[in-house]
A and B are shown apart, each in its own frame.
Chain A
């Protein structure tokens, strides 16, 4: 009978929890739906005010606050709209909206919420304070970021700091805290850092000169797609850095600027330990039209990294007839992965150039065609659909 009693207790507990759960569900659903409806209503109510603000952003007039005494949710609707615009606009418009948030008391209210004992509330406030670019919140945000264990929510805090910080020291401090957990989150950290409204070239220079290699890496990845002439000397130094990742990133960036390279530098880069460095060097050689490097590139068709082989073949194809001939030779006499890489590129070249119509391109194509025919005969080489090289093949890229 004892066993049955245990089972009964279990049943009663389940029943009780089910009843509670269902009540909770309806309460949540109804209140969520009510909130949605009210939000819509308030958005409609303040529609004219929003139009007024938008229309007067460019004028030199002081913007009025929303009319009447606002309810809590009403305030939130207005604030959310302002934050949305702050994200979209830059310069004076943004500045005016930030000031408006301050005057309306939104900043002050969220600063107060930042002291709440509930973490959820603090985080919500932190998110909005970042949106409102509230620099006065930064010390408290840094404090919370330092105290909490690293999680997805640290990223929310870090983004808010990046948005709100008005000096580079705060930004660097935030990055240091974020990276202090030893996770290789350089890409994410760079993305967060780029949220800043401050001049990024000065910050990049600071990052690249930092003694902490994690910060240097953040600087390097953040520079992708940006031309920052001020940092070129530092980049030149980092190309010789000891740490593999830093060196690879620096070389990649350095070579995108198409610098003039000495023969021994080329040889050194092409025999670097890191495949990323070799791949970047191989890629750059084609663009630099460094015909003297054809033997190096032909050798690199045998590299263990797919990316190096691919880039070498691509560069050879860019180096005129001599390069193309080297490719043909490798395709015909080489074996395994070297032949694969060369053959693939030759096919691409022949396919692409056939489509060209301009006379000089026709001439270039015909020259290559002649070379091609000399190596492979007039007939097309057997198609290699689906065949996969017997050896090699890496997945580093």
Chain B
């Protein structure tokens, strides 16, 4: 029985911690709302004083969405930037689609400024009519390898990694740049807010009308992202303990990314890895720094909508997370690494990486005791209610944050739907999440290092069906 009670306490403590992080998000939400409401981006997006940015877009088998996404990226409200698409040895026609769409020609002698090791580059394509677009065609080496190749070719001091399946809002980059300009010396990385595009009306490479997804898998993810980004990352960013900047959309100081050796190849979770490395580097060298989250810079992404794809994605995340924690175990409880070593990392290990095991064993213990002695059913019920209610409260908290500062979903029916799915999430989806994470850990132990399938559909198709 004792173990069962420990599990009950574990759930309460985890949730109190989640609430504390969320409280920090609440503390900052007023400032976030005001700074985006009272900033006029028109003047800034035409100013030469804004730092130029290289957008790095790794692409692997993205022939369906790549044209639209590149077109979207070429029309951002931003004064000076370049788009570098890196084709990571796709087996489909990603490169040909781009060559045809933008009438690109192979450059005879492209100059790579950087020297990070990457897989062999087959060629760089360019068209002077689109001076800010470059396409690197290289052998397959993974996402991190592609980003490194992009860094080697990039011409500007700031880099931004963007997933090829994501659409940036026109002001997203300038909003991030504003945040960078407010503290250019210390800001080493800024993460953007990732939202689920399934269900939205997409035209000309931009989200024209925001709606919640119609299918259940993307709908659950929509709630999940909102909770993680608004409820979690705003708070973590407040105490400079952000452990991840989403690979889908982030801005980085190139000099520091190079200083830590670029992205780590060969394993998923490179987006978390680069942030941990940056924290480690800055803290070891005693350089004041900040890894920040900019929730008003929004990127819309296509969420997986079938069981197979989402389970693959989550197993990959689970593997990446475990790998990162094991690789950086030296930072755990190490006062040298301040918030990172004393709070973020232990929190991640105890409440993210090991979370499934506490929950599963706790549940099994309680079920076992109840079967032995039916009088313990109250404790079992308490355990369920604790899990459900505290999780639901966090979802409600995140939706309130959304309503205070962003209000992307206008209809009253959207609110009903969000509240309903926040509850439904705990009956099946939540448990699957736990299972996928454990499966990811098993894959790690088995040395399974594949990226898994990730198929896309074109944006127009997506708009119709989702």
- Cβ distance B393 to chain A, nearest Cβ, rounded Å: 5
Docked Cα-Cα span, A291 to B47, in Å, equals 35
B183 contact set on A, CB distance < 8 A: 183, 185
Whether A184 and B185, one on each chain, are in contact in the complex, defined by CB atoms closer than 8 angstroms, is: yes
Q: Does A55 contact B (CB under 8 A)?
A: no
- Select from chain A the residue with minimum beta-carbon distance to B152: A388
Whether B403 and A18, one on each chain, are in contact in the complex, defined by CB atoms closer than 8 angstroms, is: no
Docked Cα-Cα span, A47 to B123, in Å, equals 57
Q: Does A190 contact B (CB under 8 A)?
A: yes
- Select from chain B the residue with minimum beta-carbon distance to A389: B115
Given contacts A7-B8, A25-B399, contact A384 B49 (CB under 8 A): no
B122 contact set on A, CB distance < 8 A: 385-386
Docked Cα-Cα span, A225 to B80, in Å, equals 14
A17 contact set on B, CB distance < 8 A: 393, 396
Beta-carbon contacts under 8 Å, B407-431 to A? 407, 410, 412, 415, 419
- Select from chain B the residue with minimum beta-carbon distance to A182: B185
Whether B378 and A4, one on each chain, are in contact in the complex, defined by CB atoms closer than 8 angstroms, is: yes
Whether B123 and A385, one on each chain, are in contact in the complex, defined by CB atoms closer than 8 angstroms, is: yes
Whether B38 and A28, one on each chain, are in contact in the complex, defined by CB atoms closer than 8 angstroms, is: no
Given contacts A183-B183, A185-B184, A397-B157, contact A153 B400 (CB under 8 A): no
Docked Cα-Cα span, A153 to B182, in Å, equals 10
Given contacts A4-B378, A127-B38, A224-B49, contact A306 B113 (CB under 8 A): yes
A10 contact set on B, CB distance < 8 A: 12, 386, 390
Docked Cα-Cα span, A397 to B114, in Å, equals 11
Docked Cα-Cα span, A8 to B381, in Å, equals 11
9-residue interface stretch from A62-70, A107-115, A257-265, A343-351: A343-351
A184 contact set on B, CB distance < 8 A: 184-185
- Select from chain B the residue with minimum beta-carbon distance to A343: B109
Beta-carbon contacts under 8 Å, A29-56 to B? 29-30, 32-33, 36
Given contacts A152-B179, A187-B184, A395-B255, contact A21 B47 (CB under 8 A): no
Contact with A along B89-107 (1 / 0, CB 8 A): 0000000000000000010
Whether A187 and B50, one on each chain, are in contact in the complex, defined by CB atoms closer than 8 angstroms, is: yes
Whether A351 and B12, one on each chain, are in contact in the complex, defined by CB atoms closer than 8 angstroms, is: no
Whether B258 and A395, one on each chain, are in contact in the complex, defined by CB atoms closer than 8 angstroms, is: yes
- Select from chain A the residue with minimum beta-carbon distance to B258: A395
Whether A25 and B379, one on each chain, are in contact in the complex, defined by CB atoms closer than 8 angstroms, is: no
Q: Does B464 contact A (CB under 8 A)?
A: no
Q: Does A6 contact B (CB under 8 A)?
A: yes
- Cβ distance A380 to chain B, nearest Cβ, rounded Å: 8
B75 contact set on A, CB distance < 8 A: none
- Select from chain A the residue with minimum beta-carbon distance to B52: A397
Q: Does B385 contact A (CB under 8 A)?
A: yes
Q: Does B203 contact A (CB under 8 A)?
A: no
Whether A385 and B121, one on each chain, are in contact in the complex, defined by CB atoms closer than 8 angstroms, is: yes
Q: Interface centre among B51, B182, B258, by most A CB within 10 Å?
A: B182
Q: Does B5 contact A (CB under 8 A)?
A: yes
Contact with A along B73-98 (1 / 0, CB 8 A): 00000000000000000000000000
Whether B111 and A152, one on each chain, are in contact in the complex, defined by CB atoms closer than 8 angstroms, is: no
A123 contact set on B, CB distance < 8 A: 34, 38
Whether B396 and A191, one on each chain, are in contact in the complex, defined by CB atoms closer than 8 angstroms, is: no
Docked Cα-Cα span, A343 to B392, in Å, equals 63
Beta-carbon contacts under 8 Å, A115-142 to B? 120, 123-124, 127
- Cβ distance A323 to chain B, nearest Cβ, rounded Å: 19
Whether A195 and B43, one on each chain, are in contact in the complex, defined by CB atoms closer than 8 angstroms, is: yes
Whether A188 and B121, one on each chain, are in contact in the complex, defined by CB atoms closer than 8 angstroms, is: no
Q: Which 3 A-B pairs have the closest CB atoms?
A: A386-B121, A347-B109, A152-B35
> Which residues of B does A touch, CB under 8 Å?
5, 8-9, 12, 30-31, 34-35, 38-40, 42-44, 47-51, 106, 108-115, 120-124, 138, 152, 155-157, 178-179, 181-185, 254-255, 258, 378-379, 382, 385-386, 389-390, 392-393, 396-397, 399-400, 403-404, 407, 410, 412, 415, 419
7 A-B pairs with CB atoms under 8 Å apart are: A11-B385, A14-B390, A21-B396, A123-B38, A188-B49, A191-B181, A383-B108
